[in-house]
Structure 1
Amino acid sequence: MQGFDPKLFTDFAGRVGHGGSLGITYVDHGEDWVELGLEYAEKLIGVTETGVIASGPIISLMDMATSMAIWVRLGRFRHQATLDLRVDYLRPAVPGRRIIGRGECYRVTNSVAFVRGVAHDGDSADPVAHVTGTFMFTK
């Protein structure tokens, strides 16, 4: 983890672009995993009557968390593209709660990284979504 600091990156990404628009924040990280947070906000609600956050912001959270898990595992930033990201959306998030997305990189080859992750709203035993995916290195 010597060359890549996910907290600094998330602090920057949380102010600009897509991550900034969604309000994604750094939570924690380890050798091959990153946790990011998505605060509850009215602009993220999918159905006004229920107050439930739309699935799109959750997918974006997990794409960012799994991407960053690769960089943490490598110890540096590397250009990559999401090749495949399967999201099993298991249940709606509880309105008003922050969503935590944990991405893990479990294998890296010369050209592809393999990831998995989980999103929850405070109870990791009852997740909102599971993800698995692959990222292709572009350089």
Structure 2
Amino acid sequence: MLHTARAFIAAIPHARALNMRLDAIGGGKATLSMPWDERLVGDPRTGVIHGGAISALMDTCSGAAVLSHPEAGTVTATLDLRIDYMRSATPGQRIAARAEVYHLTRTIAFLRVVATDEEAGGVPVATATGAFTVERRSPDSTGGRA
């Protein structure tokens, strides 16, 4: 699954442009990361990466988590993503997003996602909650699950 998911992420133009890397996936959870890049800096005085790049990472990671859920199909779309920026990302450090489906209805997946950098201390760069569409797997592809 990891190889297929990596190929899927690599095929998304904005994920390629941001140099996103799929680090882990499965069971409704995913971890994606991206390196600091001077082209993504929002404030040249500080070198802090723009919040839009972080939100794109969190959104893409959330979609990957939905697609990895055992009951979800192969298509999803963002319905809502509410992001709280907790602090500036440390310039020069890789940023990782970890998303998890915590509730799944017939048509909607609800997620929590946290973005962190390499700085010690455990304070997230951003946290988010989201809602994504779910297209359930057919019974034929899930061994009888619906």
- TM class by smaller structure: 0.7 to 0.9
Conserved? CA contact 1:11–1:25, under 8 Å: no
Establish whether residue 87 from structure 1 lines up as the match of residue 83 from structure 2: yes
Per-residue deviation, residues 5-50 of structure 1 (Å, max 9, x unmatched): 2443334433651100111001123422111011111111111111
Conserved? CA contact 2:9–2:22, under 8 Å: no
Q: Scaled by the length of structure 1, what TM-score is found? A: 0.87
- For the residue of structure 2 that corresponds to 1:74, the secondary structure is coil
Q: Which runs of 5+ in 1 are unaligned?
A: none
Q: Report what 1:118 is aligned to.
A: 114
Q: Which runs of 5+ in 2 are unaligned?
A: 137-146
Establish whether residue 132 from structure 1 lines up as the match of residue 126 from structure 2: no
Residue 74 of structure 1 and its aligned partner are, at CA, apart by 2.5
Q: 1:7 to 1:118 in 2, by over 3 A?
A: farther
Conserved? CA contact 2:72–2:135, under 8 Å: no
Q: Report what 2:96 is aligned to.
A: 100
Residue 101 of structure 1 and its aligned partner are, at CA, apart by 0.4
Give the stretch that moved more between structures: 46-55 or 76-85: 76-85
Name the CA distance, whole Å, in 1 between partners of 2:73 and 2:3. 13
| Structure 2 residue identity aligned to 1:125 | G
| Structure 1 residue identity aligned to 2:128 | V
Residue 132 of structure 1 and its aligned partner are, at CA, apart by 0.2
Aligned-pair identity in percent equals 36
Q: 1:15 to 1:67 in 2, by over 3 A?
A: closer
Aligned residues: 135
Larger Rg: 2
| Structure 2 residue identity aligned to 1:131 | A
Q: 1:37 aligns with which of 30, 33, 39?
A: 33
Q: Report what 1:17 is aligned to.
A: 13
Name the CA distance, whole Å, in 1 between partners of 2:28 and 2:49. 28
Root-mean-square deviation (CA), in Å?
Answer: 2.0
Q: Scaled by the length of structure 2, what TM-score is found? A: 0.83
